Amino acid sequence: MGVATMISLVPELKRALFGWFYPYRYNLERWAYALQRISGIAVAGYFLAHVVETGNLVGGLGVWSVPPADFSRDAWTATFRFLDNPLFDAGLIVIGFMLAYHAANGIRLTLTEFGFLQGRPTRPDFPYVPKSFTKAQRALFWLSLLFAVGAAVYALNVFFGV
Amino acid sequence: MKESTKMLLHYTTGIGIEIVGGVHLFTIFLTGPYLQNLAFSGGPYSVIAVYRNSLLAATLELLLIFVAYHALNGIRVILIEFHQGTSWERGVSWVLTATGIMLLVYGTRTILIANALA
């Protein structure tokens, strides 16, 4: 695929992405889906940063053999001092919310992927209300959200000691 | 790899992350003061103590592999849902595989060196 073709795709990709943030006539399942995608991207971004951050534990990108322990200690302490501020702590609270939601809602998605909690197949009748998002699944979705709020409150307490 | 195999791995690594990631979060938040556990050395679950414990270091390596696959495959799913086409899907897979290999190499380096730190 040429670069020109790639660039010509940008408007399409943009429209597809922004659809998640433009909740026009969403039902509950669509909310669960959008939040799963957004939280997944957020946690993936955190993971990338976390691998880079913990790389400083041994001294950073340039270190490919075992350095003196003091060198590593200084590199890690400097990294920790840099990251230990209210802005990053607030970010971690958001990541905690996202991670907890993604983990709990992921269990619901795994269950449905393997055929659980789907309900019995029935004839589609007017007004065609979707029946696949069963009561049990709704309950799990709300529990996921509750779990995420709990994780955020826990993180708030850890980082800001409320 | 078949699409169904990729998705089976996605769900399997997802469950795996909940277990191994649970251990990771447990050692940091529930084994003592959080700030003590994030210090370079000191307590039984300080950063360097965790890496020197080969069992815990192995769970970190497992977590790295699981999350790298799960995250990059998740991004792949999103990108091929946005746009379909053979060359697009091949390009996306290529870039994400390369990213994954770099992440695994760098993360594994951290774990191996930290495990061996005197």
pLDDT digits (tens, 9 = 90+) for B33-84: 888 999 999 889 999 999 999 999 999 999 999 999 999 999 999 999 999 9
Residues of B in contact with A80 (CB under 8 A): 38-39
pLDDT band at A1 (very low <50, low <70, confident <90, very high): low
pLDDT band at A161 (very low <50, low <70, confident <90, very high): confident
CB contact under 8 A, A51 and B103: yes
pLDDT at B105 over 90: yes
CB contact under 8 A, B103 and A37: no
- Tell me how far apart the alpha carbons of residues B117 and B8 are, in angstroms, rounded to a whole number: 37
pLDDT band at B27 (very low <50, low <70, confident <90, very high): very high
CA dihedral A9, A10, A13, A17 (to 10 degrees): 180
B87 CA to chain A: closest CA distance, Å? 6
Average pLDDT over residues B83-94: 94
Task: Give, in order, the Cα–Cα distances in Å from A98 to each of A21, A85, A105, B29.
Answer: 16, 20, 10, 18
Residue with tokens 């790295």: B64
Alpha helices, DSSP H, located in chain B: 3-29, 34-37, 47-52, 54-82, 86-116
Extract the tokens encoding A40: 């997944």
A132 CA to chain B: closest CA distance, Å? 20
- Tell me how far apart the alpha carbons of residues A92 and B45 are, in angstroms, rounded to a whole number: 20
Residues of B in contact with A65 (CB under 8 A): 113
- Work out the mean pLDDT of chain B and round it to a whole number: 95
Average pLDDT over residues B83-109: 96
Over residues A26-49, the pLDDT tens digits come to 889 999 999 999 999 999 999 999
Extract the tokens encoding A142: 């709300």
Residues of A in contact with B101 (CB under 8 A): none
Q: A with B: how many residue pairs have Cβ under 8 Å apart? A: 96
Residues of B in contact with A150 (CB under 8 A): none
